[in-house]
Each structure stands twice: as C-alpha cells, then as structure tokens.
Amino acid sequence: MSGKSEKNMTLSGHLRELRNRVVVCIVCLVVSFLAGLNYSEEIVNMLTDMGTAYGYSYVFISPQELLLQYFSVAMLAAVCITLPVILYQIWAFVQPGLKKNENMLFLSALFFGLICFVTGVIFAYKIMLPFMLRFLIGLSAGSDITAAVSVQNYIGFLLTIFMIMGVVFELPVIAVILTQLGLVKVSWMRKGRKVVIILIFLIAALITPPDIVSQIMVAFPMIGLYELSIVICAFLQKLRRKKRSEEEADEE
C-alpha cells in the first residue's frame, strides 16, 4: 500500500488495520506464553536458587500456589518476548501520520526504551536483589527464627522488583521525549532537582516493600538516572541549538 493511500485510509480501514495488528500481538503473546510455560519450572528454580544461596527455604501454603507461580513467570516471559513485536506494531500503525523528525524520535524512543527496560531488569537481578536478599536474611542472624518463605510471596517480590526497575530505567528516555517535544526544559529539571529527589524517595517508599534498604536501592538509581537525563537532554539541546545556528547562517 502506498504512503498516499495510507494517509487517505478511511476510519473503517484504520480500525481494520488496528484489529489486525492487535490480533498479531495476541497470537504472539499466546505462543510466547505457551513456550514460557514449557520452561517455567526452570525459571522458577533459577529464581529460588538465588534465595537458597543466602539461606532461604520455601513452602507453598495452598495446593495450587506453585502452579500459579509457573503461570506468572510464563506470562512475564511472554510479555518480554512479545514486547518487540508490540512496539513494532505500534510504530507501524502510527508511522504514516508522523513527520520525519517525529518518526525518528518515536523509533529511537522504542529502541532505547526497550534497552533501558532490559538493563533495569538485569540491574535488579545481578545487583539489587542479591544485596536485598542477603540483607533481609541477615536480620535473622543470631536468632532462632528460620526463613521459610511462601514461594508465592517470594516470586511475587522478585517479579515486582523486576518490573519496577525496568520502568525506573525508562526515566532518561521519557525525559528526552518530553524535552524534544518542548514540554519540559532542561533548566526546569535543574532547578527542580531538590524537589524531584524528595519525590523520588516518596515514590520509592510507595512502590517497594516496607524496609529502608529496598527504598534506598530503588531511590539511588532513580536519582542517578535523573542526573543522567539532565546530561543527555542538555547535550541534545546543545546539538539542536548548534544545528539551528548553522541553518540560520546558511540562510544568510
């Protein structure tokens, strides 16, 4: 289909295209879920082994509890596997209505957003969770209390941290998008640094379990990412001003 015909597509044509793209995403999600379910036991064992290394032992209280964790892990794996397909379908649907610079911004946001999300999950798995698990189990050192954690609570805790850190690491991408669209200025980000840091600690307290270590482990990366966002946005702003100056010089 040509670009002209895409722009002149009727409402029913847009709805039909949207339906087809949604169907593609759903089919990929279902197939990925079934594939993830096939490996869910290995994934759950990998996650529980992380805690076992620090002295955790696990129980399941209800008969279906372990099975539900297999489903939860499989669904998360399916979302991660299908995410590139979903992002591509979103881009393909909106691309005909985007200008060249908007198209580049949208593609860059999708690409780097995916990289940042994966980086956040890896950070949580490799650095954040081992520290948190070691600290939390260490609270029972010297006492007669043994950690026998519900497998549902344990897996739910890990998956929550994965999702939180994946979203947190999207902060630079969101900041760049807002500054490129002119909705946020770098000067505002710098002036509002103190207020943002307070808000970050409040958000960390709301989205993490009620312990200070979890809150600090979420808040500090968020502050670092906020500072990184300022640096990136300032650099892009400088490039944009330089390009504008060169264009004005050429016109003269």
- Decide if 246 is inside a domain: no
Return the pLDDT at 209.
66
Q: Is residue 248 part of a domain?
A: no
Length of the chain: 252
The arithmetic mean of pLDDT across residues 123-151, rounded, is 81
Do residues 123 and 209 both lie within one domain?
no
CA distances to 156, 159, 169, 197, 204 from 112, in Å = 27, 22, 10, 24, 24
> Both 143 and 180 in a single domain?
no
Ranking 134-143, 196-205, 220-229 by mean pLDDT, the lowest is 134-143
pLDDT in tens, 32-62: 999 999 999 999 999 999 988 888 888 888 8
- Res 42: pLDDT: 92
140 shares its domain with 185? no
Window from 32-36, 56-60, 105-109, 143-147 with minimum mean pLDDT: 143-147
Average pLDDT over residues 86-99: 79
* Residue 145 confidence (pLDDT) above 80: no
Instruction: Say if residues 90 and 131 touch (Cβ distance below 8 Å).
Output: no
Q: Are residues 155 and 190 in the same domain?
A: no
Q: pLDDT confidence of 4, banded at 50, 70, 90?
A: very low
Whether 144 and 26 share a structural domain = yes
Radius of gyration in angstroms for the set of CA atoms belonging to the chain, rounded to a whole number? 23
Range of the domain at 199: 171-241
2 part of a folded domain = no
**How many other CB atoms are there within 10 angstroms of residue 38's CB atom?**
10
Q: Which of 17-31, 66-80, 115-129, 201-215 is the least confident region?
A: 201-215
pTM: 0.77
Q: What is the pLDDT of residue 1?
A: 44
Question: Does 219 have pLDDT greater than 90?
Answer: no
Helices 129-138 & 212-251 angle (0-180, nearest 10)? 160
149 has pLDDT over 90: no
Checking if the pLDDT of 240 tops 80, the result is: no
Query: Is the domain of 177 the same as that of 136?
Result: no
Last residue of a domain, one of 169, 192, 213: 169
Indicate the number of domains in the chain: 2
Residue 140's SS3 state is coil
Sign of torsion over alpha carbons 178, 182, 184, 188: positive
Is the domain of 63 the same as that of 137? yes
> Is the confidence at residue 214, as pLDDT, over 80?
no
Grouping H, G, I as helix, E, B as strand and the rest as coil, residue 58 is: strand
pLDDT above 80: residue 30: yes
- CA 153 to chain centroid, in Å, comes to 21
Nearest to 106 by CA among 92, 91, 89: 91
Query: What is the structure's pLDDT at 250?
Result: 66
Q: Do 123 and 233 sit in the same domain of this protein?
A: no
d(CA 248, CA 127): 49
Q: What is the mean pLDDT of residues 200-216?
A: 78
Q: Which residue intervals of the chain are DSSP H helices?
A: 3-7, 11-38, 40-52, 65-94, 100-123, 129-138, 151-168, 171-180, 186-191, 193-207, 212-251
Looking at the fold, whether 231 and 112 belong to one and the same domain comes out as no
Residues 187 and 67 in one domain: no
| Domain-terminating residue out of 133, 152, 169 | 169
Q: Is residue 213 part of a domain?
A: yes
Angle at CA of residue 25, ends 20 and 26, nearest 5°: 95
Mean pLDDT of 170-188: 83
Average pLDDT over residues 141-160: 82
pLDDT (average), residues 139-145? 71
Asked if residue 250 belongs to a domain, the reply is no
Give the per-residue pLDDT at 31.
Answer: 94
